[in-house]
Structure 1
Amino acid sequence: MEQSPVKGAVSTAKGSVKTVRVVKKILALFNVKFLLIALAILLLIAAVAAIAGTSGSKSGSFSGSTGMNLSEATLQWKETVEKEAKEQGVEDLVPYILAIIQVETGGEGNDVMQSSESTGNGKGSITNPKASIKQGVKYLAGIKANAEALGLTDPWAMVQSYNFGGNYVTYLANHKEEHSTDVAEKYSKDVVAPSLGNTLGATYSYINAVSQAKGKTYLYNNGGNYYYADLVRQYVASGSAEIPVGDDVFKTVMDEAIKYIGWSYSWGGYTPSMGFDCSGLVQYAFGKAGITLPRVATQQWAATEKIDIKDAKPGDLVFFKGTYGTPDHISHVGIYVDETRMYDSNGSGIGYHYWTDSYWSSHFDSIRRVVK
């Protein structure tokens, strides 16, 4: 039998009153003090979650890294490196391992990772490339595990440790330091060299584009190579560009230049519709910052002022000679980004490249500054 509309309304109203009374009783149980305690607990949980989400070293990450500028002799070991890294659970180390091979031997010889000494058997004890890779990966994986146990996640600290020995990451953790070339030099001089008999800090000449960029063209006798991570870095491309923050001109120049990353080199090109060659890209990008430069590299060289390599800063220009034509012909230009990288258009395309690698170092002319 259907209920009348009036009776239904009265019944609903009574039910609502009962509900309100129940809610009031429940709320009475939760006084203000309890609510404040509950709120504090929630805030604590949120803070812990935030810390967990940002824990680890601020210095670096393995994510997105790939190999670059690797020789064919090195690339022949890529499959072996990938297989060994997977078996040892360090797939993220593959680009760094290949770069280490490039620096150590260029992929040639029997001990391609120069890992013999890490076995305790001395140089030359490994005479098989695959055995060298197996041992080298094992050694680097051990360094990585130790570093992460100490709270360090900077891959370059681990790479430098491959040269210095595993205790370098322990040194960084104990001294609350982050890896840098200066810290590595101190460790080389104060720890490695004395342990092998060089207690007076004796040095020997070590000249290449990397050491010249730092303004320190020497290494310590028996001190390892404190530039090791910088050398390896030339062959690893980061997934993020990590552009240093420079002045407004550099930012404007790079904001424009970055639009064309990945484009192919275009001989004679100086606009987006034509594509870009090296000097065309420089001229166009600087033009967006209100700076007029001549069209070709030789003219840009003449229109800029040479500076000491140690005084270089983002936005300067890096010039090269003899990449074609006569040995002294200014034939290429790139935008200086940092101590190892430039942004330019060359045969491999437009993007970030290492002006300190073996090819560009052999053709290096100078770093020059645009005078506004």
Structure 2
Amino acid sequence: MEQEKEQRSASGLAKDAIKVIKRTKLIVRLLSMKPLIITIIIGFLFLLFIAFLGMFMGGSSNGGGDLGQVQYSNLSETTLQWLDEVIAEAERQEVRELVPYVMAIIEVETKGTGTPDIMQSSESVGLGPNGFDNAEDSIRQGISYLKSGMLLGENLGFSDVWGVVQGYNFGTSYVSYLANNGEQHSTKVAQKYSKDVVAPSLGNVIGATYSYVNAVSQAYGQTFLYSNGGNYYYADLVRQYVSVGSAELPIGSDLFKDIMEVALKFEGDKYVWAGYKPETGFDCSGLMQWAFGKAGITLPRTAVEQHAATEEISIDEAQPGDLIFFKGTYGAPDHISHVGIYIDETRMYDANGSGVGYHYWTDSYWMSHFDSIHRVVH
């Protein structure tokens, strides 16, 4: 057996040697060609390399391989089942960047189940509710309608994506309204539009309301909608399932950057009950006290005390570096039990059971315990 192995090994080496000799001869012949021919060959090989590189990188000038800093999050499995169809249709309509918003809309409208009209888009083409009998048509029209709002905004010099998303519920005329009045979307503006424009156009001229109670409306302290006025919380509902930004800091004040420079040193650390310094680890309010203290701002020790020592502001006014408070995560339902640093429309930086780091305050758990956003006055 050993002799056979040695023979096979010798045979393999001989074959490899022959290959090397043939390749060497080929190179010699190529080098003996005229310079022009060599140049042509090299240029052809270079073009092949560039084409291969583009395929390898999944290149698409339309953003087909990259959703950038916007992603969908917290979606149900029943919504996620439609991801491939949504991506394919968005690419066909050349708006792949809308995929996270489309997925979030499906989650808000139907969670991807219960009706073929999963985007509830049939009314935008004059059909009644649940007017489509297959999901493909619903997705196609839903993306087309969302795209039409985006293109309308672009033509009017308006680029607020949340205004476009709210327009999916109100109608694209909302985008025109914002652009023509120099407004950006906010829940306050949407509420006014619902009461003054949408509701009267459908017969509600007296501002009649009906009860609308969920985590979002409770967070704003207004648990009602206007009859025939659409849902002025629509963009906020969708926002729960879209994460904007990465681990990079948004633009903020110098104070915010100083606070985060300290807080980020502990990213990934475990949550420690009653912890208030690096040697012991941090709980939520301990991290706030330490990070703000190193930036020159004195905060009291507990979340309850920090809540009392700061000034409440509306969600619309929130800026990076404000404090976001939650209640009832333990103790009584109204007990201020958790605090984090407000980062942006979806994220906070805090210490909780998942550890120290970025978390989505717009997910269903945190929204169900949301209390308020406060500003540190210094």
What does residue 155 of structure 2 align with?
Answer: 149
- Aligned-CA RMSD value: 3.6
Could you tell me the percent identity over the aligned residues?
A: 58
Partners of 1:255 and 1:330 in 2: CA distance: 26
Question: Relative to 1, partners in 2 of residues 1:72 and 1:286: Cα closer, same or farther, differing over 3 Å?
Answer: farther
Cα deviation, 1:17-66, whole Å, max 9, x if unaligned, reads xxxxxxxxxxxxxxxxxxxxxxxxxxxxxxxxxxxxxxxxxxxxx85211
What does residue 106 of structure 2 align with?
Answer: 101
Partners of 1:322 and 1:175 in 2: CA distance: 41
Amino acid at match of 1:81: V
Partners of 1:245 and 1:189 in 2: CA distance: 34
Out of 203, 223, 237, the residue aligned to residue 209 of structure 2 is 203
Amino acid at match of 1:166: T
Matches within 5 A, 1:260-339: 260=266, 263=268, 265-267=270-272, 277-290=283-296, 291=298, 293-294=300-301, 299-302=302-305, 304-305=307-308, 310=313, 314-322=321-329, 332-337=338-343
Asked if structure 2 preserves the Cα contact closer than 8 Å seen for 1:266 and 1:274, the reply is no
Partners of 1:368 and 1:282 in 2: CA distance: 13
Q: CA deviation at 1:207?
A: 4.0
Q: CA deviation at 1:272?
A: 5.8
Q: CA deviation at 1:95?
A: 1.1
Cα deviation, 1:326-367, whole Å, max 9, x if unaligned, reads 877765432345676532234555444443442113234566
Out of 217, 226, 234, the residue aligned to residue 232 of structure 2 is 226
Asked if structure 2 preserves the Cα contact closer than 8 Å seen for 1:306 and 1:368, the reply is no
Asked if structure 2 preserves the Cα contact closer than 8 Å seen for 1:210 and 1:340, the reply is no
Asked if structure 1 preserves the Cα contact closer than 8 Å seen for 2:299 and 2:306, the reply is no
Matches within 5 A, 1:24-39: none
Out of 171-180 and 361-370, give the one that drifted further: 361-370
Out of 157, 160, 173, the residue aligned to residue 179 of structure 2 is 173
Question: Relative to 1, partners in 2 of residues 1:309 and 1:78: Cα closer, same or farther, differing over 3 Å?
Answer: farther
Partners of 1:178 and 1:327 in 2: CA distance: 34
Match of 1:122, SS state, is coil
Partners of 1:273 and 1:80 in 2: CA distance: 50
Partners of 1:124 and 1:205 in 2: CA distance: 24
What does residue 161 of structure 1 align with?
Answer: 167
Question: Relative to 1, partners in 2 of residues 1:311 and 1:145: Cα closer, same or farther, differing over 3 Å?
Answer: closer
Question: Relative to 1, partners in 2 of residues 1:68 and 1:316: Cα closer, same or farther, differing over 3 Å?
Answer: same
Question: Relative to 1, partners in 2 of residues 1:332 and 1:310: Cα closer, same or farther, differing over 3 Å?
Answer: closer
Match status 1:80 vs 2:82: no
Asked if structure 1 preserves the Cα contact closer than 8 Å seen for 2:104 and 2:241, the reply is yes
What does residue 189 of structure 2 align with?
Answer: 183
Partners of 1:368 and 1:169 in 2: CA distance: 30
Give the TM-score, by structure 1 length: 0.67
Question: Relative to 1, partners in 2 of residues 1:260 and 1:70: Cα closer, same or farther, differing over 3 Å?
Answer: farther
Out of 210-219 and 128-137, give the one that drifted further: 210-219
Question: Relative to 1, partners in 2 of residues 1:156 and 1:330: Cα closer, same or farther, differing over 3 Å?
Answer: closer
Question: Relative to 1, partners in 2 of residues 1:326 and 1:243: Cα closer, same or farther, differing over 3 Å?
Answer: same
Match of 1:237, SS state, is strand
Partners of 1:197 and 1:333 in 2: CA distance: 44
Amino acid at match of 2:199: A
Q: Structure 2: which 5+ residue stretches go unaligned?
A: 1-66
Give the TM-score, by structure 2 length: 0.66
Asked if structure 1 preserves the Cα contact closer than 8 Å seen for 2:270 and 2:281, the reply is yes
Partners of 2:157 and 2:78 in 1: CA distance: 35
Asked if structure 2 preserves the Cα contact closer than 8 Å seen for 1:214 and 1:310, the reply is no
Question: Relative to 1, partners in 2 of residues 1:345 and 1:116: Cα closer, same or farther, differing over 3 Å?
Answer: farther
Q: CA deviation at 1:212?
A: 4.6
Amino acid at match of 2:113: E
Asked if structure 2 preserves the Cα contact closer than 8 Å seen for 1:205 and 1:218, the reply is yes
Asked if structure 2 preserves the Cα contact closer than 8 Å seen for 1:244 and 1:337, the reply is no
Asked if structure 2 preserves the Cα contact closer than 8 Å seen for 1:264 and 1:347, the reply is no
Partners of 2:269 and 2:133 in 1: CA distance: 42
Partners of 1:191 and 1:151 in 2: CA distance: 22
Question: Relative to 1, partners in 2 of residues 1:351 and 1:66: Cα closer, same or farther, differing over 3 Å?
Answer: farther
Amino acid at match of 2:328: K
What does residue 132 of structure 2 align with?
Answer: 126
Matches within 5 A, 1:350-361: 350-361=356-367
Amino acid at match of 2:82: W
Match of 2:210, SS state, is strand
Out of 67, 75, 78, the residue aligned to residue 70 of structure 1 is 75
Q: Structure 1: which 5+ residue stretches go unaligned?
A: 1-61
Partners of 1:367 and 1:144 in 2: CA distance: 30
Q: CA deviation at 1:237?
A: 1.8
Aligned length: 304
Partners of 1:236 and 1:283 in 2: CA distance: 30
